[in-house]
Amino acid sequence: MNQKSLSIWLRVICAVGMLCTLFLSLVVMPTLGRAVAYDYEELAWLYWPCLIFFWLTAAAVLAFLALVWLIARDIGRDRSFTLVNARRLGACSVLALADTLLYASAGCVLMAFNLLHFMLLVLGVILCAVGAAVSVACAALSHLTRKAADMQSENDLTV
């Protein structure tokens, strides 16, 4: 797979991820929240706090995907190993870690209010594990990209 096709595939995946995130944020979660508030009137007060929380975490996911889009664009332009891409990957790592910490703290808050259903706990643990793995992977890629950019700049100076 050459760089152009890799860049196109990465951007298609980012676009699909963005559309799915927007659909979940703007259609599925409000509908699901209203259904839960209707079925369980004692939980109706949680509708807006939970929806705003989900929108905050979705904004972090959209920012992450926007950064990946920019990295994919640079890959297509044969500028893969640059300090800018290393910084973007570092920002992706921070966004993934922030999202992970938000979900972990939300689980603690729900547990404090005795509202943490077992399936929410399982889903939260899975989300936190995936978020931590993505954060570590992005941090490692950022480090490697920075090293490769340094080596490339040294190589350009010697030629």
Q: Is residue 159's pLDDT more than 70? A: no
Note the pLDDT of residue 153.
Answer: 85
pLDDT digits (tens, 9 = 90+) for 47-69: 999 999 999 999 999 999 999 99
Nearest CA-CA partner of 141 in 67, 58, 73: 67
Domain boundaries, the chain: 3-158
Contact 106, 131 (CB under 8 A): no
Per-residue pLDDT for 30 more than 60?
yes
Using pLDDT thresholds of 50, 70 and 90, give the confidence band for residue 3.
confident
- String of DSSP letters for 55-74: HHHHHHHHHHHHHHHHHHHH
- pLDDT exceeds cutoff 80 at 158: no
Q: Give the rounded percent of residues in the chain with a pLDDT score beyond 70.
A: 99
Look up the pTM and report it: 0.91
How confident is the model over 107-125, as a mean pLDDT?
A: 92
Task: Concatenate the DSSP letters of all residues of the chain into one string.
Answer: --HHHHHHHHHHHHHHHHHHHHHIIIIIHHHHHHHHHHH-GGGGGGHHHHHHHHHHHHHHHHHHHHHHHHHHHHHHTT--S-HHHHHHHHHHHHHHHHHHHHHHHHHHHHHHTT---HHHHHHHHHHHHHHHHHHHHHHHHHHHHHHHHHHHHHHHHH-
- Please say if the pLDDT value at position 1 is more than 80: no
